[in-house]
Structure 1
Amino acid sequence: MEVRWDVMVIILGAALVTFIPRVLPLVLFSRIALPEWGIRWLSHVPISVMAALVGQELFLHDGKLASLTENVEWIAAIPTFLVALKTRSLLGTVVVGIVSIMALRYLVAWL
């Protein structure tokens, strides 16, 4: 098998571009102490990212604002949200969400 150097350079460049943004902050922030307000602020980042991802899935359908009648994700989000609030378990929340959406899509296709 022949190694094409242009492909190898592209792969190494992509690896480097992916590696640097992940390792550089880790190296920098491991050597300095963040103030309390900075740590509190960073604790909200995962919640914000998840809310943005879930919100887009729930509120948009084909690039337009989704209504309850054309979007079964709204209905599946209710038990998922309740399990998340009650258990605070990521695994339980994901399982309930997947099972809910599977059941609803099967039910809608069957009707």
Structure 2
Amino acid sequence: MMINTWMVLGMAAVTVFIKAAIFVLGGRVSFPPLLQQALGFVPVTVLTAIIVPMILAPHGGGAELDWRNPQLVASIVAILVSAATRRQLLTIVIGLVVFFGWQALMPV
């Protein structure tokens, strides 16, 4: 129990130190242009790493690459709508309609 407490306190201290350093140093630190460009891809990369496993293996097992997977079907439709229209809200709405409609139509 005591080891867990020290571990949590240590992680909290490291987190606070990192956030405080960023806040204090703020504008005084400048990154090279190549690093700034690379950091621009971090949000897309993280979201992709979270979303792709949820689409391909929605139940946590192996990949479910068939037409009965509503996540996969809705994702494909959303990608096509996004590529065709470039409208985020329309992509989200159509993706959700396809997802819930596909779930309602597919037998259990």
Higher normalized contact order (CA 8 Å, seq sep 6+, divided by chain length): 2
Task: Provide, for residues 79-101 of structure 1, a one-character-per-residue CA deviation record: whole Å limited to 9, x for no partner.
Answer: 21122223444433322222221
User: Could you list the runs of 5+ residues in structure 2 that have no partner in the other structure?
Assistant: 1-7
CA RMSD of aligned residues (A): 3.1
Over 6 Å off, 4+ runs = none
What's the TM-score once normalised by structure 2's chain length? 0.66
1:41 aligned residue (28, 38, 42): 38
Do the aligned partners of residues 25 and 55 (structure 1) sit closer, same or farther apart at CA in structure 2, a change above 3 Å counting?
farther
| Aligned match of 1:32 | 29
Query: What CA distance in whole angstroms lies between the structure 2 residues aligned with 1:74 and 1:22?
Result: 38
| Aligned match of 1:52 | 49
Tell me by how many angstroms 1:22 deviates: 8.2
Tell me by how many angstroms 1:26 deviates: 4.3
| Aligned match of 2:72 | 74
Query: What CA distance in whole angstroms lies between the structure 2 residues aligned with 1:20 and 1:90?
Result: 35
What's the TM-score once normalised by structure 1's chain length? 0.65
Identity %: 23
Report if aligned partners of 2:78, 2:91 keep a CA contact under 8 Å in 1. yes
